[in-house]
Structure formats: structure tokens, C-alpha cells
């Protein structure tokens, strides 16, 4: 999860960028489009079957999946990562519980690894050059799992090699404001080593900011205040609690974009054109290294860093498994998670993969028994090299751009399935809110006597909706996991599901062992979700959402819920930008009109659906309505709106720098224009962004109107 | 028609760019999606009904339409243009022969007009500044129709005002090569007035080239050798023949792009963001004026030009009429032509509009009688301000981007319907070839005893197809008429239909009175198509194509015909670029593989369609196949492929500078790289273009495969 990009959203706790290697082609055996004649063909969602699936999703099987998935480190493209590819294939090709077909797809992608021969190291040196302190080169082997040869030492993926030496300067979170503050104090940053803590902004941005102030190197540590609610002693942390031990270091990708760095907008096939790595944008400009708080607290004076990371082209696999739809095989419900971890990755990502495997087992078993086949096709995906920048999923969207955009109903992402075992956390675009609500109202919450997941959720995270009253709060999607290319690049309605902690009880930025060698099976089994009932709850939620999307005659996507979002964005724009715009004679009137048109068209469409549902609609009438619902999200794409923001084409969910939840392009353009004169290029850009938005909303509304109105 | 952009295609004879004014919104009353219950619902093409329509298309009614449409000049946005908007509305809202609904849509667009107060003039001045010769300010009033106040004087739309004076230099067609030749002869071009003839390259390009060589002004004339087969005397030309009189002047737009110049990629609504006209790219850089050959032949010495064109924001209307589909109302067959002319515009565009009105009358009558309703929706369009740069159609595609791209089966353009009365001329993307062939095989050719239009066509223009043997030659689509935004910007399979002359009998660049005040009803009635049987033949062809597209159960779009095109492009690339690429270690192997994959997938899909047709497919099975056929053309779009080429996103039909019919992006990149060193940015661009192409073809092939194969 790139927590950086959408600051205004409900930013979840998983930051899943990383390093891996990919190469490839789809090798799924060709099936046929016609349904096998012996299978009963469901025309609509079967509630009895849904209950059967809910009942069969088994917590102890998820636990066993997790144990197997996380028993060895499986950094992208390593032998264990490839072994898990085979595990997934075997499960999805199982004659008793497998899918219709499964296969792998390889891409050749640029990853970054520390050198084995020359380990990265960070030392404090005295005035005469003598080493006063050496930072740990690996985490303390507390449970016997932190010491193996496959535990990659902590490093900052994509940071360049180099051996800078300089005075240490502490720069808080390394934001622009932090550096400005230092400058204003008269602190000289040139040729220093900057120390920052994780949080506030993305990893890569810290390095970019430090380099802009001419620092020579960057160290980034995890502060106990940000991750352990202040606890920092060995006996207060893992294996004695879920807290991060002093030696724990958060690895991570420091690449600023996502996708393979050498092949933006192109699938990273072996023959694809590749940028010259020397000219790639988005890499950290200076040597950078993450460290633990054990080391951070003793750093002082002159620091020497020796960083030996290197870029490597590697082959990384996606695994895809398919259940062919019985009635509309050309409509896809996608469900995915990444496979690669930084070390053992029990929480990130194996808690998601364990759930994925259990769900595919239950559905595969029903399929193989001949008792069920979905109305639409279901595609399960295990993405490679997510930790290095959502690489496997991004390359997949680049390769199959057209068919995915034309045919995908929705994308369900379950990456970290359980951050903690208190409440559901869901993020998504507005059309998926209703199906998540419907599903969670029917599933009991773990650890409570009688509450549904929905009822439990609303206790921890809620908002007052002008339409529905008090409802659970659905977060927005940034770019923190593999949903990013689906929503931002392809305009597919997407969601991310997980169980989470009680934010009132901890200020932890994310679960403490995130991206460290302490994220192991025992950690999950003892501290995150003993009994695995929260894993089961997520499996049930995701399973129910999937079945509702794959089997319902009418797609359970509520386009009217976009009306509420647009109205709130408009009100925020009027409130926070209206006066400024008025000063420059820019009216929000056309935008208000466009929002009204959208609302009107959505309401009429809802009524039309409702009337149609009461009658006996023929298959084509249903298909036409469903196409309107499915394709609404696409209408918000404009590939020319944000030319500087790689992949971001969705005019409503592009990165926004301000803290007000409103239209991002307009808001960002206003920020940039604020201190420029009338007639500046920046003010022209405000007007351009406003017109792009108005045109997108009018264009969207037009697709919701009766189809024979032009 | 921007003859300029695709030099390798079968370049037709209509060059229809021009000047107009638009402003707007759609105001079509809302219908409902459900078919009226009393109407019989056709499930497939009804051949008997098709014959009925063919029989009812009436040459004399087309003639009367043309007389009415062309009786007054109807330059874009003038009162007569607006009167024709009302005429179209009235026809399409007629209770006996109208459509389901019709309405107008206005855009506010930037056009260019000569000043009425200060007429443009061009004079030859002697050494002492005395005027030796003044060019005509208007055409000679030979038939009483060239003298009215509504006849716009000849001018170069979008050329800037100015009064340059300088020595005259003749520069042939004003191509880059022509100017290089002059430079090599030691001829000084700075501060001269350059005289060129029409042809070879586009209008705007002549001005750009002249300005690059620092000329002060540009005159462009029509050479009798290019338009009249050399005839130039008054008694050899109109009204004595179809030849252009000596005083005739071709007007035209000199804007280099298409669409409203101030709102690229945005609909030109009143509130839309507009570029500053002072910074708009694509306008001619120097004062420019077209003249007749009567004046061109006497020009010499020092010439003074006084040009007073001015830019004006005007409101220009599209008129849209709709027949709601009975079974699939969300699938659109679009049929359009522009309405605005330069002067009376009997050939350009009224010959097309006369056909459009007759076809809509016949279909509207059947509709109102209740004897027919198409399976899919049919949309008729009368575009505004095409002559100024395809403005009405482009703004329409910008405004309704998503719904058009999601739902349009094909776009049929009939602009000039009859250039001359000898043979059909058809241009289109490969999927429409088969439906044009099927239609034309069933319609008798005018003026022949027993030949079909197809049989007659093949006598004048043919090629040897590796698949079909000798077939009529389908030309490629450049950007010469309103199909351009549909094919290049939206990726919709498109075609342009007309009757044409025998190219072996004339070297005329286009019909002689093109864009002059001599393009009148009598000109058509006497010289172009006496009896109007060729107009009728085009009406029948377009009508049959439209009905086949709107009513056939299986869409008559043959995707396999793209295989032949791709194979021929590949062979041309291998032959003409292969050696050069090999020198730079660039292999065409991945491209060859991608073409093979496309061919394989298309073949399998064809077999699948054929099998399905023999069975009793259910409605959804047919819809799924049709979606694959309809959407294939979309898969070739890449909005990031040619960032410099406004609107051009189709990787197979973007403008190509070389004369070899092959992949345009690759070919252009190779041309630019040829004389640069290995490792240059130009060679990287060759590799990028190759990868874009490979990815597009693989992506396209993926959409043709069985839909549940990922």
C-alpha cells in the first residue's frame, strides 16, 4: 500500500510495496465457451448455496494454509516464491477441489536486491575515522526464523549503491515541511546523512526530499511511538507481545511509481522495449537504508553508509485460475492477492493468500461435484512482485488492457486479510459499498455473541450518510496494493477487504512486524488472530461478495452511491475552493449542474432497474442494464487528465495533495495556482481541470440515461 | 478530407475541411428503452424488407432534396445553415416519415471569416508602388449564383490577418522538397510572397513550410492541370462543362488539426476551458490567400497581400435523429454527414445530405407505419462546421466519449455522395469490407445493363487478395471527413461511401468546382449525375449496409479481414525496414509472432461463429460474440502512442509519412531514426513503437480468443 498518494482517504495500515522479478506469457490451456451440459445453470444468486459456502469456509484450513505459505521466506522470484507458484497451481488444478483451468504468466521485470558479497552497512565513525558503532546488518534471531540464508537483510529497494559519509541530521518524517523547518533553523543539510522515521509520507518521497536538500544519504527507522504505542524494550515486544523488537527493520520499495520500472504502460515481456535504467525516473536519488530503533537511538556524529544494492532483471510469475461462467462467461469477477513477501510474510501477504486458497478450495469442490457453476466467470489471481511496486498486477493490466476493461465486473483484493482481530476494514469505490454491506449483514462477527460483521464494523468506523443515515465507513483506495492498476489505470470498480484493530486503542501506523523478519506464522497464531476466526470472517465476507457479484442476475453494483460521493466532493469544493475560484472569476456552476445531471440519471436508472426486476425481463434487457452498471467506473477515466501521474487516469481518485476530500485534479491545480497571478498557466490549468471534470461527469451521466437517448 | 495525413492509402478525391461555428447541448426528448409493443420485433435481417427499402429509395426525391439543400449558400453558422437545421429537424420529426426522436446539439466553436468591411485583396505592384494588377475579390458571376451577399469571398480559413508585400516566388506544391529545391538553386525566400498550387500536401502544411523558409505570405491557386485535365478557357469550363472556370477559387480550412481549435479533447460547451487563441498551435503562421488560375497566370514581380480574416466564436449545431432498436437499443449504428458548405455546396456536402434525407424518409415511413423497427438503434447525424475542421463530429465524440465507445457498432459516413457517376469508391477499416461487398453485390450499377455495383466497381479499382482473389479495392480512411474522430479517436469501425469518376480518364485532383461558388445544383444536375441514378446507387449501398448492421442477428463485421491487413503490413515492414532494423539489432520476430497470434485467434473465432450460427444460439451467446466483433477496433487504440498527433490513437491508421503501406508508428520512427547514431533517442523510439504495436496486437488477439480463456 502506497500510503502516500491519497492522503485524504481512510488510509489503511498495509504498506505493501516491494521488490521482485517477472517474465512472461499466459499459458492457460484453452477451454471452450460453452458450459458443460451436465451442470445446473444458476440464473441468479442461490442463497442456500451461499450459506453452504459460508459454512464450509474453515478457519483451521486457513491456519494450515498460512503455516505452509509462511514457513519459508518467499521474496519475489526466489526459489521459494517459485515453489509457491507450484503450490497454487497444484491446488487450482486439483481434480477434487480445483478450478476449470489454471496457469502461470511470467514477466521479466527490474527488481533491486542487496549484494550478498558486500552487505550494506551503516557505521558511526569518530573524528579520526574510527568506528564507534556499527548498525546491525540483520535482525536479532529471536525465534530461530530470523537467521536463515533466505532472510533478505534489511534494505531500501531501488536505492542506489554508494558510500556516503557525513554528519547526522534528524529530520523527523522527512516531509517538505520538516526540511523547511531545519533550513529555517539554519541547519546546513548539504553532505549530511539524514535520519528520518517512517510515516507521514511514502518511502521514496523521503529520499527525494532529502536529496533536494543535498543530503548525501538517508536512514529511515521505525519509531516505537509510531508502531508499538511507545513500547520499546525487548521484554515488551515480540515474542512476548505483538510489538516490534528493537532490532526489527521495515524493508520496502523506495520506487515512486508502480509497475515494472523499465516498461511503463507496456507488458514486461522479454521482447518489450525497456527504458535505460540510468534514465529511469522514480528511483531514490541517494543511497538509503532502513534501520531498527535499537540502532536509531544510538546514532550520533558522523555516519558512514555503505550501500551495495543492485538492480537485476528477474522473471516473476502471476498464477491465474479460472472458473468459467455458465451464462455470461465473458463477464469476469476478479479476486486477487500478491504472493511475494519480504521475509516469511505471514501477515503480509500470506494471510490473504491463505484465505484465497480456502475460498478457491470450497468453490472448486462445489464446482467439481457439479453442484454449482457461477453465472459469470471467476478469475483468481496470485500476483508476483507486489512488494517491489505492484508489478505483477500492473503488468497483467498492461497486457490484457482491452479485455479486462471491456469485461471485468469488479476486482476484489484481499492482501493482508487480518491486521488484527477487532473489526472489518473495507476500502473501495462507491459502487461496491452496497454489496459489501449486504454481505456483512449476513455474517456473524467473530468473538461476539450475536453481532453481524456489519453491526460490529459500524461500532468502530462509521459516518453519517445523507442517504442511509449511520453506516460503516468505506475507505477510499490509494495505491497500496494490487487494486491500484485496476481502479486507476483501467477504471474497474474495486475493493480491498481485511480485519483490523481498534484505532482508539493503538496509534500503531500498521501492525508492528510489518516487512520485518518477525512477521511469522507464530506471530499470527499467537498475537494477531489466535483461532483464525477473523481470517474466517474475511474469507466469508470476500466469498459472499464474490458470489453476489458472480451469480446475481442483476449486478449488485449501486451506481447511485456515486451520487453521494460527487455531492460531498462538490460541497467540499464549494466550501474550500469556492471563494478563491470566485476571486478569479471561475464558477463552479457547470460542475454543480453536472453533478445534478449525474444524480438525476442515476435515480432514473435505479427506478428502471427496480421496475425491471419486478417484471420478467428477458436476458438481453438484464445484460444491457448490467453493462451500464459495470461500465460506469470506466467513464471517469481520462488518460490525458494527469500526464505527470503515471497510470492515474481516474479523475475522481487520482492522488490529492490537500487534506479536503474533494475532486483531486481541481484541488491540486488550485493549490498550485494559489500564489500565482491571474492569467498564469497555473490558473489556466485550474480551468482545464474543471472542464475535464465537468466533461467526465456529463459523459458518465450520459451512460446512465436510457440507452436510446443520445 | 485531409488528404495530407495518410499518403499511403487510396486517397480519395474529397478534401472537405472547412470553417463553421458551434455551441452546445443535446436536447433530445427522453424516450424509453422498451420497444413499443405493437411493433413486430425483427430478430434478424429481413431480406424482403431490404428489397423494399432498395426499391423505395427514389432518385427524383434525392434530386429535389439536393435542389432545396443547395439553393442558397449555407456556410457553417450562417442563417441558411440554421434554416437547414430546422429542415432536418422537421423531416426527422415528421409524423408520417420521421424517426423516433430528433434534436439539436450546439457547440460554441472558433471559426474564421473574412472581414466584410475590409475585403481581402491581392495586388501586383510596380517598382514605384503603383498597382499593376488586382486579383479578383470574388468569382465571376457566370450563372447568377456567384454574386449574392451570402457567397463568402475566397479565403484561407484560420490564416492570420496581415499585409505583407514582397517578390513573388513560385514554389510548386509547397512541399518540403519544393522549398529545398529552391534553396539549392540559391533562391532567397526571406520576405517573399510564395505562390504554390493546390495538391501534394495539405493546405496548412504549405503555409507552415513557407513560413519556415521565412516567406512573408502565401498564395495558393488551383492549376488547370490538376483539376481540369489542362482545360482552362472559359468556353471549355463551367457552365459549358464540369471544368472549373478561370475565376474559380478553392476555399478551405488551413487549420492543421481537427476539432474546435480552442477545446482539444473537451466538448466546446460554453463553460469549457478554452486555450488562448494567441497560443493555439496548428494555425497557418503567415497571411495566406487562395486565388484562381485566371489570376495566378498573370502574377509576377512584387505582390501585395491584404488579408483581414478574423477569428470568431460562433454557435454551430449538430442535428441528431434516432430510431430506437427493438432488441438491442444500446447498440448504435451511426450514419452521418456534415451540413455546412463553403458556398452552395451542391456536391460538397449536399449530395450526401440529399441521400441521407431520402434514406431517413424511407426508413422513417416504414417505422411510422409499424412495419419495421431495427434490432439495434440507428442514429442519423447532420454535423455542423465540418469545413472548418470536422468540428461538429469531433465535439460530439468528445462529449459522449464513453457511451459511443462502449456501444457503437459502426459509423457510416456519406459526405460527397457523388464525385462523378462511374464507379463506387469505398474507404473503411477492414471489418467493414465484407458488409460493403455483400451489399453491393445485390444492387444494380447505374448506367449498365446487368452489372451489380460490385461488378462495376471491380472493373475500375481492384486488388488481388491472398484470401479472396480479385476484389474491389477498399481504400483507407485518412482524416478527410467526419469519420476521422470516430476511427482515430474512438476506435470505431468506420467507412466512407461515394460514387466516383474513372481515374484512368482524368487526372483531376477532385471534382473541379470543389469549394468554389460554381458547386451548384445545376452543376450536379447537368454534369455530375444527370438523372441522379448514382445518387440513388449510393443511397441503396449505404441503406443496405446500414440495415445489415442494424438488423443482422450476427454482426456482419469480419474481423479476419484484419488478418490480411496485418499480414501485408508485416510483409511490407520486413521488406522495407527489416534490413535497417537488423543493422540496429532490432528483430521483427515478436511482431511476426503477434500477427500470427492474431490470425490464429481470428480463425478460431470465425469457426466458432460459423458453428454457433448453425445451431440455435441463445440471445446472450450471440451478444457475447457480437461484442467481440464490435469491440475489436477499440483494442488498437493507445492514447499514449503518438502524443504529438492530436486525436490519433489508432496504432494501425495513424498518419504515416512514408509511401509504403505498413505500420505507421514504426515506419515514421524508422524514418526519423535513419540518420541518427546507434543509441539515439530516435532509435529508442523505434523500439518503443515496435513494443506498442506488439502489445496492441497481442491485446487484440486476446479479445478474439474464447472469452473464458484469460
Q: What pLDDT, in 10s, does the model give residues B374-395?
A: 999 999 999 999 999 999 999 9
Residues of A in contact with B628 (CB under 8 A): 330
> How long, in residues, is chain A?
710
Q: Does B619 touch chain A (CB under 8 A)?
A: yes
Closest CA to B104 of A230, A129, A710: A710
- The predicted pLDDT at position B36 comes to 40
Q: What is the 3-state secondary structure (H, E, C) of B147-162?
A: CCCCCCCCCEECCCCE
- pLDDT grade, residue A535 (50/70/90)? very high
Read off the pLDDT of each residue in A52-71 and give the average, rounded to a whole number. Answer: 93
- The predicted pLDDT at position A501 comes to 94
pLDDT > 90? residue A611? yes
pLDDT > 90? residue A296? no
Read off the pLDDT of each residue in A207-234 and give the average, rounded to a whole number. Answer: 93
Distances (CA, A) of B591 to A114, A301, B40, B574, B588: 36, 58, 49, 10, 5
Tell me the shortest Cα–Cα distance from A279 to chain B, in angstroms.
12
Point out the residue among A328, A399, A695 whose CB comes nearest to the CB of B266: A695
Closest CA to A652 of A669, A670, A633, A671: A633
- The predicted pLDDT at position A22 comes to 25
Report chain A's mean pLDDT, rounded to a whole number: 90
For the stretch B164-194, pLDDT in tens is 999 999 999 999 999 999 999 999 999 999 9
Give the DSSP H/E element, type plus range, for residue B544. helix B533-551
Domain B47-107+335-551 is classified in which CATH homologous superfamily?
Zn peptidases (3.40.630.10)
Cβ(A480)–Cβ(A442) under 8 Å?
no
Interface ipTM > 0.90: no
Report how far residue B671's alpha carbon sits from residue B689's, in angstroms, rounded to the nearest whole number.
12
SS3 A560: helix
- Asked if B113-313 and B561-704 have one fold, the answer is no
Task: Assign 3-state DSSP to chain A and report helix, strand, coil percentages, each to 5.
Answer: 35, 20, 45
Low-confidence ranges of chain B (pLDDT < 70): 1-42, 300-301
Cβ(A649)–Cβ(A544) under 8 Å?
no
- The predicted pLDDT at position A7 comes to 31
- B631 to A692: CB separation less than 8 angstroms, yes or no: no
To 10 degrees, what angle do helices A352-369 and A59-69 make? Answer: 120
Report how far residue B355's alpha carbon sits from residue B546's, in angstroms, rounded to the nearest whole number.
13
Q: Which range has the top average pLDDT, A57-61, A224-228, A329-333? A: A329-333
- A33 to B328: CB separation less than 8 angstroms, yes or no: no
Interface test with A, best of B586, B592, B607, B707 (most A CBs within 10 A): B707
Return the C-alpha cell found at B104: 439539436
Q: Does A620 touch chain B (CB under 8 A)?
A: yes
- pLDDT grade, residue A132 (50/70/90)? confident
Tell me the shortest Cα–Cα distance from B200 to chain A, in angstroms.
33
Report how far residue A189's alpha carbon sits from residue B269's, in angstroms, rounded to the nearest whole number.
51
Return the C-alpha cell found at B37: 409493443
- B399 to A698: CB separation less than 8 angstroms, yes or no: yes
- pLDDT grade, residue A206 (50/70/90)? very high
Point out the residue among B30, B687, B708 whose CB comes nearest to the CB of A325: B708
Interface test with B, best of A328, A375, A403 (most B CBs within 10 A): A403
pLDDT > 50? residue A8? no
Closest CA to A322 of A539, A104, A92, A91: A92
- The predicted pLDDT at position A303 comes to 87
Q: Does A33 touch chain B (CB under 8 A)?
A: yes
User: Which B positions 390-429 lie with beta carbon below 8 A of chain A?
Assistant: 398-403, 406-407
User: Which chain A residue's Cα is nearest to B641?
Assistant: A265
**Is B386 noted as a catalytic residue in this protein?**
yes
Tell me the shortest Cα–Cα distance from A622 to chain B, in angstroms.
10
Return the C-alpha cell found at A134: 556499527
Fold of A113-312: Glucose Oxidase; domain 1 (3.50.30)
User: Which A positions 305-334 lie with beta carbon below 8 A of chain B?
Assistant: 320, 322, 324-325, 327-330
- A691 to B272: CB separation less than 8 angstroms, yes or no: yes
Distances (CA, A) of B513 to B74, B141, B532: 16, 14, 18
Higher pLDDT, A226 or A15: A226
- B694 to A272: CB separation less than 8 angstroms, yes or no: yes
Read off the pLDDT of each residue in A130-137 and give the average, rounded to a whole number. Answer: 90
Residues of B in contact with A618 (CB under 8 A): 619
Read off the pLDDT of each residue in A361-370 and give the average, rounded to a whole number. Answer: 95
Point out the residue among A271, A322, A377 whose CB comes nearest to the CB of B694: A271
- The predicted pLDDT at position B301 comes to 63
CB atoms within 10 A of CB B258: 28
- The share of chain A scoring above pLDDT 70, in percent, equals 94
Read off the pLDDT of each residue in A152-163 and give the average, rounded to a whole number. Answer: 94
Q: Residue A616 burial (CB < 10 Å; 0-12/13-18/19+)?
A: exposed
Closest CA to A255 of A117, A386, A114, A82: A386
Closest CA to B336 of B535, B462, B223, B482: B482
Report how far residue A254's alpha carbon sits from residue A696's, in angstroms, rounded to the nearest whole number.
33
Point out the residue among A272, A708, A710 whose CB comes nearest to the CB of B691: A272
- The predicted pLDDT at position A19 comes to 23
- The predicted pLDDT at position B300 comes to 61
Alpha helix stretches (DSSP H) within A46-110:
47-56, 59-69, 79-92
- The predicted pLDDT at position A3 comes to 31
User: Which B positions 575-594 lie with beta carbon below 8 A of chain A?
Assistant: 587, 589-590
pLDDT > 80? residue A510? yes
Fold of A47-106+314-551: Aminopeptidase (3.40.630)
Tell me the shortest Cα–Cα distance from A204 to chain B, in angstroms.
26
Residues of B in contact with A265 (CB under 8 A): 640
Q: Which member of A386, A398, A399, A599 is catalytic?
A: A386
SS3 A75: strand
- Sheet of A494-500: strand order equals A101-113, A310-323, A376-383, A328-338, A408-413, A494-500, A423-428
CB atoms within 10 A of CB B291: 20
Report how far residue B30's alpha carbon sits from residue A176's, in angstroms, rounded to the nearest whole number.
53
- The predicted pLDDT at position B296 comes to 82
Fold of A560-704: Transcription Elongation Factor S-II; Chain A (1.20.930)
Kindly list the domain boundaries of chain A, sorted by start residue: 47-106+314-551, 113-312, 560-704
Domain B561-704, CATH 1.20.930.40 — does that match?
yes
User: What CATH number does domain B113-313 carry, 3.40.50.2300, 3.40.50.1370, 3.50.30.30, 3.40.50.300?
Assistant: 3.50.30.30
Report how far residue B11's alpha carbon sits from residue A334's, in angstroms, rounded to the nearest whole number.
46
Amino acid at each position: 500500500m502506497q500510503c502516500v498518494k491519497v492522503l485524504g482517504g481512510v488510509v489503511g495500515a498495509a504498506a505493501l510495496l516491494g521488490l521482485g522479478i517477472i517474465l512472461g506469457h499466459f499459458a492457460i490451456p484453452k477451454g471452450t465457451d460453452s458450459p458443460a451440459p451436465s451442470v445446473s445453470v444458476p440464473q441468479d444468486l442461490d442463497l442456500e448455496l451461499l450459506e453452504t459456502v459460508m459454512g464450509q469456509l474453515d478457519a483451521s484450513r486457513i491456519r494450515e494454509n498460512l503455516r505452509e505459505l509462511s514457513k519459508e521466506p518467499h521474496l519475489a522470484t526466489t526459489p521459494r516464491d517459485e515453489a509457491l507458484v507450484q503450490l497454487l497451481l497444484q491446488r487450482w488444478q486439483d481434480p477434487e477441489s480445483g478450478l476449470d483451468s489454471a496457469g502461470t504468466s511470467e514477466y521479466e521485470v527490474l527488481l533491486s536486491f542487496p549484494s550478498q558479497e558486500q552487505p550494506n552497512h551503516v557505521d558511526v565513525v569518530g573524528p579520526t575515522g574510527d568506528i564507534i558503532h556499527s548498525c546491525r546488518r540483520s535482525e536479532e534471531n529471536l525465534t530461530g526464523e530470523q537467521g536463515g540464508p533466505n532472510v533478505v537483510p534489511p534494505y531500501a529497494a531501488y536505492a542506489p549503491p554508494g558510500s556516503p559519509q557525513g554528519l547526522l541530521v534528524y529530520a523527523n518524517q522527512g516531509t517538505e515541511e520538516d526540511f523547511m523547518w531545519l533550513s529555517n533553523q539554519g541547519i546546513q543539510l548539504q553532505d549530511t546523512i539524514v535520519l528520518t522515521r517512517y510515516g507521514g509520507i511514502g518511502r521514496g518521497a523521503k529520499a527525494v526530499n532529502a536529496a533536494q536538500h543535498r543530503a548525501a544519504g538517508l536512514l529511515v527507522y521505525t519509531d516505537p511511538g509510531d508502531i508499538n504505542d511507545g513500547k520499546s524494550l525487548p521484554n515488551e515486544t515480540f515474542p512476548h507481545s505483538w510489538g516490534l523488537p528493537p532490532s526489527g527493520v521495515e524493508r520496502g520499495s523506495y520506487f515512486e511509481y508502480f509497475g515494472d520500472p523499465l516498461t511503463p504502460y507496456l507488458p514486461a515481456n522479454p521482447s518489450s522495449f525497456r527504458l535505460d535504467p540510468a534514465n529511469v525516473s522514480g528511483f531514490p536519488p541517494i543511497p538509503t537504508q532502513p534501520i531498527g530503533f535499537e540502532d536509531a537511538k544510538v546514532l550520533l556524529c558522523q555516519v558512514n553508509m555503505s550501500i551495495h544494492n543492485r538492480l537485476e532483471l528477474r522473471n516473476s510469475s502471476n498464477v491465474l485460475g479460472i472458473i468459467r461462467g455458465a451464462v455470461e462467461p465473458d463477464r469476469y469477477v476478479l479476486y486477487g492477492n500478491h504472493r511475494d513477501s519480504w521475509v516469511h510474510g505471514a501477515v503480509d501477504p500470506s494471510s490473504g493468500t491463505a484465505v484465497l486458497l480456502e475460498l478457491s478450495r470450497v468453490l472448486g469442490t462445489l464446482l467439481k461435484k457439479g453442484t454449482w457453476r457461477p453465472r459469470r466467470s471467476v478469475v483468481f489471481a496470485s500476483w508476483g512482485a507486489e512488494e517491489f511496486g505492484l508489478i505483477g498486477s500492473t503488468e497483467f493490466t498492461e497486457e490484457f488492457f482491452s479485455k479486462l476493461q471491456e469485461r471485468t465486473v469488479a476486482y476484489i483484493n484481499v492482501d493482508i486479510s487480518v491486521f488484527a482481530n477487532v473489526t472489518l476494514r473495507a476500502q473501495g469505490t462507491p459502487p461496491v459499498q452496497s454489496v459489501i454491506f449486504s454481505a456483512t449483514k449476513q455474517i456473524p462477527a467473530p468473538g461476539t455473541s450475536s453481532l453481524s460483521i456489519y453491526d460490529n464494523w459500524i461500532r468502530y468506523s462509521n459516518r453519517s450518510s445523507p442517504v442511509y443515515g449511520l453506516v460503516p465507513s468505506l475507505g477510499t483506495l490509494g495505491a497500496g496494493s494490487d487494486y491500484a492498476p485496476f481502479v486507476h489505470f483501467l477504471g474497474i470498480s474495486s475493493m480491498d477487504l481485511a480485519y483490523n484493530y481498534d484505532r482508539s486503542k493503538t496509534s500503531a501506523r500498521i501492525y508492528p512486524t510489518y516487512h520485518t523478519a518477525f512477521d511469522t506464522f507464530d506471530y499470527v497464531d499467537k498475537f494477531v488472530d489466535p483461532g483464525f476466526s477473523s481470517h474466517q470472517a474475511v474469507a466469508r465476507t470476500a466469498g459472499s461478495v464474490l458470489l453476489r457479484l458472480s451469480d446475481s442476475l442483476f449486478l449488485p453494483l449501486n451506481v447511485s452511491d456515486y451520487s453521494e460521493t460527487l455531492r460531498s466532493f462538490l460541497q467540499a469544493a464549494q466550501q474550500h475552493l469556492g471563494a478563491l475560484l470566485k476571486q478569479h472569476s471561475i464558477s463552479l456552476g457547470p460542475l454543480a449542474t453536472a453533478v445534478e445531471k449525474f444524480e438525476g440519471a442515476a435515480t432514473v436508472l435505479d427506478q428502471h432497474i427496480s421496475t425491471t426486476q419486478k417484471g420478467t425481463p428477458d436476458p438481453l434487457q438484464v445484460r444491457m442494464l448490467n453493462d451500464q452498471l459495470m461500465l460506469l467506473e470506466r467513464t471517469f477515466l481520462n488518460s490525458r487528465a494527469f500526464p505527470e501521474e503515471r497510470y492515474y487516469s481516474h479523475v475522481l481518485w487520482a492522488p490529492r495533495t490537500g487534506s479536503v476530500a474533494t475532486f483531486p485534479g481541481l484541488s491540486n491545480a488550485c493549490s498550485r495556482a494559489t500564489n500565482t497571478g491571474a492569467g498564469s498557466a497555473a490558473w489556466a490549468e485550474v480551468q482545464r481541470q474543471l472542464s475535464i471534470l465537468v466533461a467526465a461527469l456529463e459523459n458518465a451521466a450520459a451512460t446512465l440515461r436510457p440507452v436510446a437517448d443520445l
